[in-house]
Amino acid sequence: MTAAVSSPGNAGYDADVVIVGAGPGGATAAYHLAQAGIDVIALEKATFPREKVCGDGLTPRAVKQLVAMGIDLSAENGWIRNHGLRILGGGMRIEMPWPDLAAFPSYGLVRPRQDFDEILARTAQKAGAQLYENTTVTEPIRDERTNRVVGVKTKEGRDYRAPLVLVADGNSSRFSLALGIHKRDDRPMGVAYRRYYRSPRHDDDWLESWLELWDGSPGESRLLPGYGWIFGVGDGTSNVGLGILNTSDAFGKTDYRALLDRWLAHLPEEWGFVEENATAPTRGAALPMGFNRKPHYADGALLVGDAGGMVNPMNGEGIAYAMESGRLAAEIVAQALAEPEGVRRERILHGYPKALDAEYGGYFTVGRLFVRAIGHPSVMKLATRHGLPHPTLMRFCLKLLANLAEPRGGDAFDRIVTALNRLAPAA
For domain 190-287, is the CATH number 3.30.70?
Answer: yes
Q: Averaged over 115-122, what is the pLDDT?
A: 98
Q: Which pLDDT score, from 0 to 100, does residue 5 have?
A: 39
Q: Are 53 and 192 in contact (CB under 8 A)?
A: yes
For domain 8-81+110-185+289-366, is the CATH number 3.50.50.60?
Answer: yes
In Å, the largest CA–CA distance within the chain is 72
Alpha-carbon distance 358 to 124, whole Å? Answer: 27
Q: Which residues pair with 132 in a beta bridge?
A: 43
User: Does residue 228 have a pLDDT over 90?
Assistant: yes
Nearest Cα neighbor of 56 from 236, 234, 233, 280 is 233
Q: Are 264 and 273 in contact (CB under 8 A)?
A: yes
Alpha-carbon distance 158 to 220, whole Å? Answer: 60
Residue type, 235: D
User: Does residue 420 have a pLDDT over 90?
Assistant: no
Q: Averaged over 153-168, what is the pLDDT?
A: 97
Assign 3-state DSSP to the chain and report helix, strand, coil percentages, each to 5: 35, 25, 40
Helix (H) or strand (E) holding 327: helix 319-337
Residues 189-213 pLDDT 10s: 999 999 999 999 999 999 999 988 7
Domain ranges of the chain: 8-81+110-185+289-366, 190-287, 377-423
User: Does residue 221 have a pLDDT over 70?
Assistant: no
Q: Which residues pair with 123 in a beta bridge?
A: none
Q: Which residues pair with 131 in a beta bridge?
A: 42
Alpha-carbon distance 86 to 57, whole Å? Answer: 13
Residue type, 106: S
137-142 vs 149-154, strand pairing mode: antiparallel
92-97 vs 84-89, strand pairing mode: antiparallel
Residues 349-397 pLDDT 10s: 999 999 999 999 999 999 998 888 877 767 777 777 767 788 888 899 9
Q: Which pLDDT score, from 0 to 100, does residue 375 have?
A: 74
Nearest Cα neighbor of 242 from 195, 312, 172, 189 is 195
Alpha-carbon distance 105 to 90, whole Å? Answer: 30
- The 10 Å CB-count burial string (b at 16+, else e) for 5-28 is ebebeeeebbbbbbbbbbbbbbbb
Helix (H) or strand (E) holding 329: helix 319-337
Q: Are 57 and 110 in contact (CB under 8 A)?
A: yes
User: Residue 369: exposed, middle, or buried by beta-carbon count in 10 A (0-12, 13-18, 19+)?
Assistant: exposed
Those residues whose C-beta lies under 8 Å from the C-beta of residue 265, and which sit 6 or more positions away, are none
Helix (H) or strand (E) holding 189: strand 189-198
Q: Are 76 and 259 in contact (CB under 8 A)?
A: no
User: Which of 2-16, 261-275, 299-313, 375-389 has the least mean pLDDT?
Assistant: 2-16
Nearest Cα neighbor of 167 from 14, 310, 68 is 310
Q: Averaged over 171-190, what is the pLDDT?
A: 94
Residue type, 212: E
What does pTM read for this prediction? Answer: 0.94
User: Strand, helix or coil at 200?
Assistant: helix
92-97 vs 227-232, strand pairing mode: unpaired
Using alpha carbons only, what angle is made at residue 171 by residues 168 and 175, rounded to the nearest 5 degrees? 50
Alpha-carbon distance 363 to 377, whole Å? Answer: 23
Q: Where are the beta strands (DSSP E) in 264-403?
A: 283-288, 297-298, 301-303
Alpha-carbon distance 16 to 337, whole Å? Answer: 8
With cut-offs at 50, 70 and 90, classify the pLDDT of residue 3: very low
Task: Look over the chain and give the mean of its residue pLDDT values, rounded to a whole number.
Answer: 92
Using alpha carbons only, what angle is made at residue 135 by residues 134 and 138, rounded to the nearest 5 degrees? 140
Nearest Cα neighbor of 154 from 240, 41, 231 is 41
Residues 25-76 pLDDT 10s: 999 999 999 999 999 999 999 999 999 999 999 999 999 999 999 999 999 9
Residues 364-376 pLDDT 10s: 999 998 888 877 7
Q: Which residues pair with 61 in a beta bridge?
A: none
Q: Residue 219: what are its φ and ψ, rounded to 5°?
A: 80, -5
Helix (H) or strand (E) holding 263: helix 256-265
Give the whole-number percent of the chain exceeding pLDDT 70: 94
Provide the residue count of the chain. Answer: 427
